[in-house]
Amino acid sequence: MIVRPFALPCGTLSAFIVNPTGGVLGGDHAEIRVSVGPGARVLLLTQSATRIQPSPHGSEAVQDLRFTVAAGGRLEYYPERSIPFAGSRFLQTVRAELEAGAEFGMTETLAVGRVAMGERLRFERYRSNVEVWRAGRRIHLDRVDIQPRTQHLDAPGLLGVRAYSASGVWVGNTPVSEFPAVPGVLASGLSASGAIWLRAAAHRGPDLDVALAGARQAVRAGLFGAGPLQVRR
């Protein structure tokens, strides 16, 4: 479901994607298509965390998102955290196609399961593939494929003891020379193709959320010349 869009004080049009069920189920296949016209400013959010339910029969839940943004338009997609339950399988693809002069921003946040319930890394698979194309050229590719049964994810340099991770990408038209960083939690930078990338991981969800919100706003201000988002829920 899409909740009726409404304008934020900064002039951006905000819309919520809402799943009216108890979460994403094995065998589900969701296709989401968003098109942003010239001069439009759109903020796409989810109402709550994406709860990926167990899949007793091994069926994968699939989510396919396709974004197109015209020159002079801007689309930002900041979904709430994904939480894969024990035994779940989730495959996601995101493809953003931007015309020259278009702007785009996106972050993803992942929990390694319902940690407080003893479900750390108990899901079967979580895969997310994010591509950003601009003027017919791919400028960003980010692939995450976590299969806890076959990967040693608690090793140093990977998750370690952390339970929450995040990634992000932004594309704009203004040169940026400063990039957000929080020691031990978050880093960002500029790729050779001109996209701003972000990586983050933390022991606690609230710590990651605070760092990510600050980084997101810093990038938006520098890259888009945009003021703070004042989201109403």
| Domain assignment of residue 62, yes or no | yes
Distance CA 4, CA 65 (A): 19
Q: 159 falls in which pLDDT band (50, 70, 90)?
A: confident
**Number of domains comprising the chain:** 1
Judge whether 92 lies within some domain: yes
Q: State the CB neighbour count (10 A cutoff) for residue 211.
A: 21
Decide if 53 contacts 21 (C-beta within 8 A): no
The answer to whether position 223 is within a domain reads no
Prediction pTM value = 0.94
- Give percent of the chain with pLDDT exceeding 70: 99
The DSSP bridge partners found for residue 75 are: 42, 104
The 10s digit of each residue's pLDDT in 65-104 is 999 999 999 999 999 999 999 999 999 999 999 999 999 9
Residue 192 lies in a domain: no
The answer to whether residue 110 is domain-embedded is yes
pLDDT digits (tens, 9 = 90+) for 185-216: 999 999 999 999 999 999 999 999 999 999 99
Within a domain: 189: no
Of 112, 58, 62, the residue nearest 82 (C-alpha) = 112
Residue 185 domain flag: no
- Residues whose CB falls within 8 Å of the CB of residue 135, separated by 6 or more in sequence, listed in order: 98, 99, 100
Provide the pLDDT confidence category of residue 233 given band limits of 50, 70 and 90. low
Residue 136 pLDDT more than 90? yes
Asked whether the beta carbons of 191 and 216 are under 8 A apart, the reply is no
CB-based burial, 104-129: b 16+ in 10 Å, e otherwise: bbbbbbbbbbbbeeebbbbbbbbbbe
**What is the rounded CA–CA span in Å between residue 112 and residue 122?**
8
Q: Which domain holds residue 116?
A: 2-161+170-177+201-218
Q: 76 and 196 in contact (C-beta within 8 Å)?
A: no
Look at residue 195 and tell me if it is in a domain. Answer: no
Give the residue from 143, 186, 149 showing the smallest Cα distance to 165: 186
The type of residue at 138 is R
**Rounded distance, CA 204 to CA 224, Å?**
30
> What is the pLDDT, as a whole number, of residue 55?
87
